[in-house]
Amino acid sequence: MSGIRGLDHSRQVAGLELLFDVGLSLTSERDHDRLVEKILIEAKHFCRADGGTIYLVSEDDHLEFAIMRNDTMGAALGGTTGKALDQIPRVPLRDPVTGAPNERNIAAYAANAKQAVNIEDAYEVETFDFSGTKEFDRRNGYRSQSFLTIPMLNNSGRLIGVLQLINAQDPDSREIIAFDSHLQKIVEALASQAAVALDNQQLLAAQRKLMDSFIQLIAEAIDAKSPYTGGHCERLPIITEMITEAVCQADSGPFAEFDLTSEQWYELRIAAWLHDCGKITTPVHVMDKSTKLEGIRDGMDTVRARFEALKRETELEYLRRGGGGDDAALVATLAEIDDDLAFLERSSVGGEFLSEEHQQRIRAIAGRTWRCGDSQRPLLSGEEADLLCISRGTLSEEERLVINGHMVQTVRMLERLPFPPDLKRVPEYAGGHHETMDGQGYPKGIFAGDMSIPARIMAIADVFEALTAPDRPYKRGKPLSETMAIMGRMKERNHLDPQLFDLFVHSGVYRQYAQRYMDPELVDEVNEPALLEITPKGFELPPEQERAERWKDFLPDYRKLLRSTHLVVK
């Protein structure tokens, strides 16, 4: 208080009100550009300064222009103007060669000395180098005379930036005068408040940047863990945001009122990056299983070795009976063995539907034996036969349970994180992209009305990216028309939200994404009217209480099943 005793009572009150009002507004302002603008404008107004600048300290010890205002010249750069100050040279705090403090520039001096500098007339001072200022004045017909330069220090005394005011004006005559030393004390207090507010904002921004980087690191690790996922975790946020933007722009229809704040957009982005985080726990030999017998090592190699042993045994048996190596019966028997092995190799790929007839042939082959030492053993174990008889794909029911379990793990992992209130829906958004409209999805079996719009958007994005992905080793990305036709059938079966899918189609988002991320040869014509005409099949919606209990009943049973497999760590 001693610093403002020389002021008249009205100015004291004004100064205290300024500190109080600005202090409140600074603590509540979250936008960086508006914050620095508010600091400068309030300081200018209180000191009746014609111009002012705020510099912020860079990581490499320079003062960088954050905002500049000059009323006489009508100049406004930085802040909320959108006009960058990139062309204005930065001010080094130290000599780049000697490392000595820069004492010639007034802003650098105030920053290094951590004390305010009040200059009555820059044209009469030789302590500091004002040659650049004078050249600026000459080119613009201006005179930068009085300067008040104040370092902005946080609570621990660390330099955050520098506040510089130019040309204090007499309230009556508007003549340029020196900055009042008593007003200076209030502005110094304001600069201190501003430094704390900026420091807090910078700390929050640094924490957010760290969290974002860590989240993206997890997503990149999941993509790197398996070539079968390729860049899925990186591309899904892109298509999710494109669809969401189209939904926000809808001015009619079911989504006309839907919109997201900047905080909700950030929440959605975090959810998109984390949507598959549960895959960290999925065993690689299950996630990457490209054939039915593939495990930690390819089981088909063992089967081949048995067949080779059977062929040698067959040849030896013919020789014992006095037959020759070119005996027609022997050649036919060996050819039959080779044909059976080739059939098993084709069956293990799992590329097509395996008929009942082919399954019976596998069982018959499994019934044959080969000699191992003094004992006869089956060519295929019961487990191998079961795996080779998988009718579609390469995964057994047990393995499919583990694969689907990544969503359970995703939800469990995210629900354990202490997300702040503005990120509280991340688990719901991220954990819903395998749910369906009719409650037949997983992990929770949620129905359409119980899912948020962002979660339903992410479900469409996940399917579209997976079908068009160009970097899956086991398949090539599908043509755009085939992709949309598949998704149309998913709309009909209530796997995807029909209204969101229709918006996805007529907004053209699917084609915008395809033109940027798909092989041009695969971007073909899509029959949009046919997709929009598809009508979803009706289904019965259970009572609300029953729907609410689904997840509670499902989770313990799922965890029990998951732990009963030999594919996960107990």
Q: In this predicted model, what pLDDT tens digit does every residue of 156-196 receive, in sequence order?
A: 899 999 999 999 999 888 899 999 888 898 889 888 888 88
Tokens coding 118: 């009040």
Verify that 143 and 22 share a domain, yes or no. Answer: yes
d(C-alpha 177, C-alpha 221), whole Å: 62
d(C-alpha 114, C-alpha 236), whole Å: 48
- Residue 90: is it exposed, middle or buried by C-beta count within 10 angstroms (0-12/13-18/19+)? middle
Verify that 73 and 113 share a domain, yes or no. Answer: yes
Angle between helices 9-28 and 32-47 (to 10 degrees): 180
d(C-alpha 55, C-alpha 150), whole Å: 10
Note the residue count of the chain: 570
CB 34 within 8 A of CB 54: no
H or E element in which residue 151 lies: strand 147-153
- The CATH number of the domain holding residue 8 is 3.30.450.40
Supply the pLDDT for residue 33: 85
- 403 pLDDT higher than 80: no
- 11 pLDDT higher than 80: no
Q: In this predicted model, what pLDDT tens digit does every residue of 461-514 receive, in sequence order?
A: 999 998 998 765 555 778 999 999 999 999 999 999 999 999 999 999 999 999
Higher pLDDT, 278 or 127: 127
- 302 pLDDT higher than 50: yes
CA atoms within 13 A on the CB side of 450: 22
Distant-in-sequence, close-in-space partners of 165: CB < 8 Å, separation ≥ 6: 43, 44, 47, 49, 51, 52, 147, 148, 149, 179, 187
- Residue 350: is it exposed, middle or buried by C-beta count within 10 angstroms (0-12/13-18/19+)? buried
The 3-state secondary structure of 154-179 reads CCCCCEEEEEEEEEEECCCCCCEECC
Verify that 73 and 141 share a domain, yes or no. Answer: yes
Verify that 23 and 163 share a domain, yes or no. Answer: yes
Q: Rounded to a whole number, what is the distance in angstroms from the first to the last CA of the chain?
A: 67
Mean pLDDT of all residues belonging to the chain: 84
Higher pLDDT, 417 or 488: 488
Out of 205, 238, 264, pick the residue that ends a domain: 205
Verify that 160 and 241 share a domain, yes or no. Answer: no
CB 230 within 8 A of CB 219: no
Pick from 310, 424, 448: nearest CA to 366: 310
CB 469 within 8 A of CB 230: yes
Supply the pLDDT for residue 554: 54
Comparing 185-189, 288-292, 428-432, 454-458, the range with the smallest average pLDDT is 288-292
Verify that 435 and 522 share a domain, yes or no. Answer: yes
Verify that 121 and 242 share a domain, yes or no. Answer: no
Buried b / exposed e along 1-38 (16+ C-beta atoms within 10 A): eeebeebeeebbeebeebbeebbeebeebeeeeebbbb
Let me know if residue 316 belongs to a domain: yes
d(C-alpha 68, C-alpha 76), whole Å: 6
Supply the pLDDT for residue 12: 63
Q: What total of structural domains would you count in the chain?
A: 3
- 560 pLDDT higher than 60: no
Higher pLDDT, 19 or 423: 423
d(C-alpha 421, C-alpha 264), whole Å: 11
Verify that 405 and 438 share a domain, yes or no. Answer: yes
Q: In this predicted model, what pLDDT tens digit does every residue of 368-381 receive, in sequence order?
A: 888 887 888 988 88
In this structure, what is the dihedral angle of CA atoms 178, 180, 185, 188, given to the nearest 10 degrees? Answer: -30
Out of 363, 394, 425, pick the residue that ends a domain: 394
Supply the pLDDT for residue 2: 41
Comparing 67-76, 92-101, 399-408, 479-488, the range with the smallest average pLDDT is 399-408
Count the neighbouring beta carbons within 10 Å of the beta carbon of residue 117.
19
Verify that 532 and 440 share a domain, yes or no. Answer: yes
Higher pLDDT, 148 or 328: 148
Supply the pLDDT for residue 501: 96
Verify that 457 and 479 share a domain, yes or no. Answer: yes
Supply the pLDDT for residue 106: 96
Count the neighbouring beta carbons within 10 Å of the beta carbon of residue 324.
9
Let me know if residue 502 belongs to a domain: yes
Supply the pLDDT for residue 484: 96
CA atoms within 13 A on the CB side of 277: 25
Q: Which domain holds residue 536?
A: 226-286+398-564
Let me know if residue 216 belongs to a domain: no
Let me know if residue 509 belongs to a domain: yes
CB 117 within 8 A of CB 111: no
Average pLDDT, stretch 514-537? 93
